[in-house]
Chain A
Amino acid sequence: MTFLVPTAFALAVIAIPITVLYILKLRMRQVHVSSDLFWQQIFTARPPRSFWSRFRHPLSWLAQLLILLAIVVAAADPRWNSTQTEQRLVLILDVSASMQASEPRGQRFELARTRALQIINGLPASAQAAVIAANHRPEILCSMTDHIPDLLRAVTSVGPSAAPGRPDLAVSIASSLLQETNAASILLLSDRCFDATSLPAEPRLTIETVGTPLPNIGIVGVQALRNSDDPLSAELLVAVRNASSLPAEAVLQLRMNETLSYVERLSLAPEETTSKTFPRIGPAGGIWQAELREIRFLQNAADTITSAPAATAPADALAIDNTAAAVLPAANRQTVRLISSNGYFVQKVLEADPLIDLQVQSAITESPANEPAQITILHELVPARLPAGPVIVLDPRGDCDAWALKETRQNPLPSPAVEAHPITRNFRLDDVLIPAATELEFRLPARVLAVAEDGLPLCVLLQRPTGPVLVVPLQLTQSDLAFRTVFPILISNTLRWFANTTHLTASALQAGQQIAVPLPSATFTQRTAAEADIQQVLLRSPAGRSELIPLVRTADGSAELRALTGPLCETGLWSVEPTGTLAGIGVPSKSAVTIAVNLASAAESDLRPPGPVSEPASADSRTPRSGSRPLWFWICCTAAFLLILEWFLYQRRWIT
């Protein structure tokens, strides 16, 4: 037997005062009686106490010392010496969203935590263990150690997440921790609501299932999208899944900016996933919130949603997937000045966009100095100095301060790969006929978004302090680009990006993702941040917790700023807000960016572990564990028993 805390034996000195106090003659209270006739008959008077007879009740004194001994030994945390070789265990605790499911015996995660504490307490003295939380990004809560309190503290400190878990990554990390150790095991405490095929082949892995199959209905997908061909209309897409073997009914409520917009009753067959689309007309944006209510699983077909629920009907086991949200960006009107002498098709494309107020000029004129920067589209005509503000240049025919013309290349072959950028979303040039394109020598930091097979840039984004410039050096009049759908898509994407309405690639994110949030460039640029010497902005969670997250500056000198968030492991509406100093330099508070985070995971919403549920007793014997409580617990029980015994001794109930 070894002791994890041998310093606790110092407590044994308490035996000295116990003995001294016991030996010391206690002053007994004197009681006067009329006569001791009857007392004499009850007992024989004892002689005056000698030194040794001061141990009047040696059993009581002995019991007190035994109690002290038990406490000291328990505090020293004894462990049985194992005859086996040194064992190593990596305990992986599944903290994914499905572990928040409510079991009849409590929350799944709490059951797993209790089991983990049991296992740690039952570790032999020679064993080492580590604890990993299988979150969306696995986290080592406690590295390999034999210090039980650290392991217990690690298990106690962690809580369930709202994000899908990645047990495969956690197992990989565990394998790395154990390396090639043979006397080692990996124990995954999980509800197995994940794709088991994704787990790496690890012979030392044992999965202990926590929880029982439970029915659940959840929102497994939600997105809010504006139609690319009609920016004034938008749609909300909601996918609901019945992850049970019973038919179910529910009421889906949709709110737009807290106003109830749609209510629809859903009847879902077992295992059915249904998708619903809800339209919205208008340029205004907002926050869609979907909620599943009145969820009922029907035991038989005669049940309806209006009837009273059967007493035996199971309840929805997971609440976190019953709500979801999505952010619909506003469609703002834009004033665009087109300068072209031969831009009929370009003009028609722009006129087809209902959000654009178009001004057409056939020649280059100087803009008034006090005129606010607006979007300018230059077709063939290029001034010596590009105007301020966002600029789109189509088929440039001259030099300017941003580039110099070089040669014209014939029949460049567009590459199907394009740079990932909001401008190039749904943009492909591979089937576009390009008879000629102009090669440019850029004088500003350039980001090539599309390129030909020979390396000729076909779509370039220039960053400059006064505004971004998109250059498309194709000869538009000879190409069929203007007749292709990609052209209005390119123009629309570019204008939306200029208007900063494409700040997020998705209207809703899945919990656990980490993103760089583009901040509104109109009011929140690198220049304003630099003026205020701001390095961080505020990230506020749905629960109201706030933290500072760093700003990310682009290396190409663009004005765009992004805020890098950590993993968003909480469902609801997050917001990225300017700090107080930024607000002080005129950045309005409405420049805050709202991020909708949902569970939206079909795997996490399915609360039925695949295959039979394994009991802890049938788990792999290689996993060091103990079904009983730790040794110190039984020692404490012994101390409690001795305490009771000593109490009886003190009361002298059995002394005659």
Chain B
Amino acid sequence: MLFPSDFLTRLEYLSIMSKRVFRGQLLAQRRTRQTGSGIEFSDHREYSPGEDLRYLDWNIYARHGDLLIRRFQEEQDLHVWLLLDCSRSMNFANGRKFELARQLTAALAWIALADLDRISVLACAAGVVQQFPLTRGRERILPLMQFLETLSADRHETRLQESVRQFLHRRPRPGIAVVLSDLFDPYGFETGLDQLRFSGFDLHVIQLHHPLDAEPGLLGDAEIVDLESGRILQTTITEQMLAQYRQLFQQHQLSVRQYCARYNLGCTQSSTKAEFDALVMAMMRQSATS
């Protein structure tokens, strides 16, 4: 069951934990840098003639005789974009990867909605195939969960670059972009992430893999069927090949970590053995300590 009965309870716990421990560190607790007509004092600046005298700080003028204008931080809603990989590779081994990705999407969305941020979920494969539009308010979590339940991972292969291109073509307001994928992109994952990064998004990558992705456990004659392309490789797998596979997989995981570290991006890599709430907690700890 994708969202069991205690799912919302666990989401609420995550929300409380995020406020107590990681306040100001994650998602909607952040503020924009724009100053404007907010109510929270930001700083002072010199008065220029013609400015609205309502913002003149008369107390300072009375004490020191300086004409200073009070500035306030303008509060804007934070936009959180959740890019969920719906390619066929996410459906590997009974779709456990896709199930965990959807649970994580729901959890992150709930935390954002609880902080009055706006969230949007984009189902991506070879492009953006479905979108849950921007929304805010905690009451929107149920429609979001219904949306996630309707999604299926049978959308061809992974093309993150094309998905990001289509996403940016809609001119989204910059905010936080969370990519949930296994990043098994035959065209490379770096280009898509680069585009998001260049567009001013605060990027966080969540890479999921199944244990069989790391350790196939195959020996002997076999037809290897690629879930995304349907391509078939007839071969005989030896221990030597398995060792090479393990090495290549670890290199791929390392390349993702190195990319994120290079550009100071959030990065979470996990096996599908983990539970979504434990994974979110780990993400929050990682953000708090970084």
Contact = CB atoms under 8 A, between A and B. Distances in A.
A653 B227 contact: no
A35 B248 CA distance: 12
A629 B89 CA distance: 62
Given A31-B223, A33-B92, A33-B216, A38 B238 contact: no
Contact of B186 (A26, A31, A35, A653): A35
A45 B249 contact: no
A48 B223 CA distance: 11
Interface in B73-92: 89, 92
Interface string A22-63: 000010111111111111111101101100000000000000
A43 B235 contact: yes
A33 B186 contact: no
A652 interface: yes
B227 A34 contact: yes
Chain A interface helix/strand/loop/mixed? loop
Contacts, number: 91
Nearest to A40: B233
A28 B239 contact: no
B238 A653 contact: yes
A653 B239 contact: yes
Given A28-B222, A42-B241, A653-B239, A34 B210 contact: yes
Contact of B89 (A34, A38, A39): A34
B132 interface: no
Interface in A532-567: none
B234 A30 contact: no
B43 to A, nearest CB: 52
Given A34-B89, A34-B184, A42-B245, A49 B234 contact: yes
Given A33-B92, A34-B184, A655 B238 contact: yes
Contacts of A31: 216, 218, 222-225
B228 A35 contact: yes
A103 B234 CA distance: 63
A28 B227 CA distance: 17
Contact of A36 (B218, B224, B252): B224
Interface of A: 26, 28-43, 45-46, 48-49, 651-653, 655-656
23 contacts: A26-B221, A28-B222, A28-B223, A30-B225, A31-B225, A32-B92, A32-B225, A33-B216, A33-B224, A34-B92, A36-B226, A36-B233, A37-B248, A37-B252, A38-B245, A39-B233, A39-B235, A43-B235, A45-B231, A45-B234, A45-B235, A651-B238, A653-B238
Given A28-B222, A42-B241, A42-B248, A35 B89 contact: yes
Interface in B165-217: 182, 184, 186, 209-210, 212-213, 216
Q: What 8 pairs between A and B have smallest CB-CB spacing?
A: A35-B184, A36-B226, A34-B89, A38-B248, A34-B92, A45-B233, A30-B223, A28-B223
B220 to A, nearest CB: 8
Contact of B222 (A29, A40, A48): A29
Contacts of B218: 31
A32 B91 CA distance: 11
A391 to B, nearest CB: 100
A31 B221 CA distance: 10
B245 A39 contact: yes
B244 interface: yes
A34 B238 contact: no
B227 A33 contact: yes
Given A43-B235, A46-B235, 4 more contacts: A30-B225, A34-B92, A34-B182, A653-B239
Given A43-B241, A45-B233, A655-B238, A35 B226 contact: yes
A38 B234 contact: no
Contacts of A655: 236, 238
B289 interface: no
A656 B210 CA distance: 27
A655 B227 CA distance: 26
Contacts of B249: 38
Nearest to B235: A43
Contacts of B244: 42
B132 to A, nearest CB: 25
B240 interface: yes
A652 B89 contact: no
Given A34-B92, A34-B210, A39 B240 contact: no
A35 B227 contact: yes
A43 B241 CA distance: 9
Contacts of B241: 42-43
Contacts of A32: 92, 225, 227
A39 B213 CA distance: 11
Nearest to B229: A36
Contacts of A37: 184, 186, 248, 252
A32 B86 CA distance: 17
